[in-house]
Chain A
Amino acid sequence: MRRVNNLGGPARYGVTGHGAEIASLPRRLCDGWKSAAGRDAERRGDVSTANAIRNGAAIVLVAGRGDDTSSPPGRGGVVSKSAEAPAAPESSRQRPGRRQLMLNAAAVCGGIVLWGAAVSFARVGLPSPGQVLARAIELVRSGQLLADLVASLSRVLAGFALGVALAIPVGFLMGWYSTARGLIEPFVQFFRMIPPLAVIPLAIVTMGIGETPKVFVIFLAVFLSSVIATFQGVVSVDKTLINAARVLGAKDGTIFRRVIVPASTPFILVGMRIGLGSAWATVVAAELIAAQSGLGFRMQQAELYYDLATIFVSLITIGILGLAMDRLLLALEMRLTQWQERM
């Protein structure tokens, strides 16, 4: 019973009575295991606890945070001792909680106020939040912001989709067949060391100044970061799981589909998130160098006219879009890998 909850604070224990008080605890948790919990308590010589459990009560571990008692089995409420009790993994990582969101919002507002104060008192030569907002409204009305945004986003998505589409099969190939690994790995490791941006001059010379070189560079950035992650995922699949599938009659094809693919999904998703980050970084840089549209191009134009407000609007848009896409992938990751035991 000496378990500290995963939020770090000390846990409170209590024996709840019959009926209403345990209603919030999942019923099946109490019913299924009250006998085992009772036996355990009895062995420890804790007779009153054992009796309480046998009468339908349960030992409830109340986590430090108030909202955790209603969570499903394994999330918050824990019955009985460690070996026969369901483990209690995460809770803090998935739900930030209202307090955290309030703090976030307050920090953002505070930042904007500080920015405004710095501009008006310190004469730093930067546009004020109001000016940036006005320019943003202007750019939205004229449709230019949307056009730039679509141009940049479509490059990112095209490069990202192509990169991931190639990285996943190649990563699996490398992890599954040592021959493929031996042949492909030197190239992957070598090109990984070259920043994708360094390829831009070459791409422009050989592919012209259209969309192709930009999408290519993004593709390269995404491919290189995702392929390693996928490969790592396949290599680190627990051999016991493969053996377990084999003894249940699975052949290679089934093992691949039903064991390797799901087991390496967490790695692939992490690789995709890293890939998305580098795609976003690459597109802006590529547009700064050679483009006729996009957020990077707009900033480059604004630079010529000393139009700081437009640069600010572009930067903030890039930040918000990148964050939104990352959160989207994170949500997907949480959904697809919720089976993982998180510490």
Chain B
Amino acid sequence: MTNKISFRNVSRRFAHHGASFLALDRLSVEVAEGEFVTMVGPSGCGKSTALAIAAGLLEPTEGEMIVDGRLVHGPGPERGVIFQQYALFPWLTVRQNVEFGLRIAGKRAAERRAIAQHFIDLVGLADFADSLPKVLSGGMKQRCAIARAYAVDPTILLMDEPFGALDALTRVQMQDQLLDAWSRELRTVMFVTHDVNEAVYLANRVIVMAARPGRLYEIIPVDLPYPRTEAIRLSQEFAEIRNRVWRAVYHQPTTAPDSAAQENFGEVK
């Protein structure tokens, strides 16, 4: 398999009140085409920074960010991004939101409408196609954001804690729907989360990060078959992998002791 996303010694430094701090320290990760990787770690481990760099929303201070064999300069339509805060345009209806990227790509009205309708149906929002985002619930908003990202036909999906603001029940439904869509249309997915269960349930591989400075800690393969089902979620094998990831996240020897506690409260942007 070819490498779709490559972080090569990627570092990112932020200036903050005159002082600079290292958010990401020489991250090197390869993601293969069609792979589903999740990235998990304590607050301040640079996982969102890494995703933003892959998206082209941030430039690395050092190192090379390579997607499809080319250096990344700015965002591109081949990389769809889904944000935790949904980031729907509140003045546009669901349909207009989904058509936004198609309009920029210069698609004709009829084609736009057909594509948008397809993805609105796919995420189950057909009844709300002409509603404004304000009448949608959190889960519906995120489904709309997913439809909007899918519509421009990206080969890569970069998801930054997309289900972080949803309640536990909705979250499970959204995970299953995401895996379903992923298995039907082959895309490479990089998914940032702070939920260990979610990270293991979705991924081929879990990338565990360490904090201060944010860096790679361990990559844990998830040798569980797809489709992932409730049986898998409740299986002994799943529990073993989850426990391993959990220990990697919460019992990192070099991490300051307060970071595990912060995990529950941090990451609220």
Are B135 and A73 touching (Cβ within 8 A)? yes
- Is B90 an interface residue, CB under 8 A from the partner? yes
Comparing B6-14, B165-173, B197-205, B257-265, the segment that makes contact with chain A is B165-173
**B43 CB to nearest A CB, Å:** 19
Are B81 and A243 touching (Cβ within 8 A)? yes
Are B135 and A83 touching (Cβ within 8 A)? no
Comparing A85-93, A132-140, A288-296, A315-323, the segment that makes contact with chain B is A85-93
Given contacts A86-B137, A245-B100, A340-B90, contact A73 B77 (CB under 8 A): no
Q: How far apart are the CA atoms of A259 and B170 in the complex, in Å?
A: 29
Are B100 and A258 touching (Cβ within 8 A)? yes
**B105 CB to nearest A CB, Å:** 6
- Is A122 an interface residue, CB under 8 A from the partner? no
**Total contacts A-B at CB 8 Å:** 102
- Is B101 an interface residue, CB under 8 A from the partner? yes
Q: How far apart are the CA atoms of A263 and B88 in the complex, in Å?
A: 12
Closest to A88 in B: B135
Q: How far apart are the CA atoms of A258 and B113 in the complex, in Å?
A: 19
**B98 CB to nearest A CB, Å:** 10
Name the interface residues of B106-132: CB closer than 8 Å to any CB of A. 124, 126-128, 131-132
- Is A56 an interface residue, CB under 8 A from the partner? no
- Is A32 an interface residue, CB under 8 A from the partner? yes
Are A87 and B152 touching (Cβ within 8 A)? no
- Is A339 an interface residue, CB under 8 A from the partner? yes
Given contacts A87-B137, A243-B81, A243-B83, contact A249 B132 (CB under 8 A): no
Given contacts A247-B81, A250-B104, contact A86 B136 (CB under 8 A): yes
Are A247 and B80 touching (Cβ within 8 A)? yes
Are B81 and A244 touching (Cβ within 8 A)? yes
**B211 CB to nearest A CB, Å:** 23
Q: How far apart are the CA atoms of A28 and B166 in the complex, in Å?
A: 23
Closest to B84 in A: A240
Q: How far apart are the CA atoms of A245 and B96 in the complex, in Å?
A: 13
Are A83 and B167 touching (Cβ within 8 A)? yes
Q: How far apart are the CA atoms of A259 and B101 in the complex, in Å?
A: 13
Given contacts A74-B135, A247-B57, A340-B90, contact A28 B127 (CB under 8 A): yes
Name the interface residues of B210-247: CB closer than 8 Å to any CB of A. none
**A residues apposed to B, CB below 8 Å:** 28-29, 31-32, 40, 43, 73-74, 82-87, 89, 238, 240-241, 243-250, 254, 258-259, 262-263, 265, 337-341
Question: 7 closest pairs, A vs B, by CB?
Answer: A74-B135, A248-B101, A244-B87, A32-B127, A247-B81, A339-B91, A28-B127
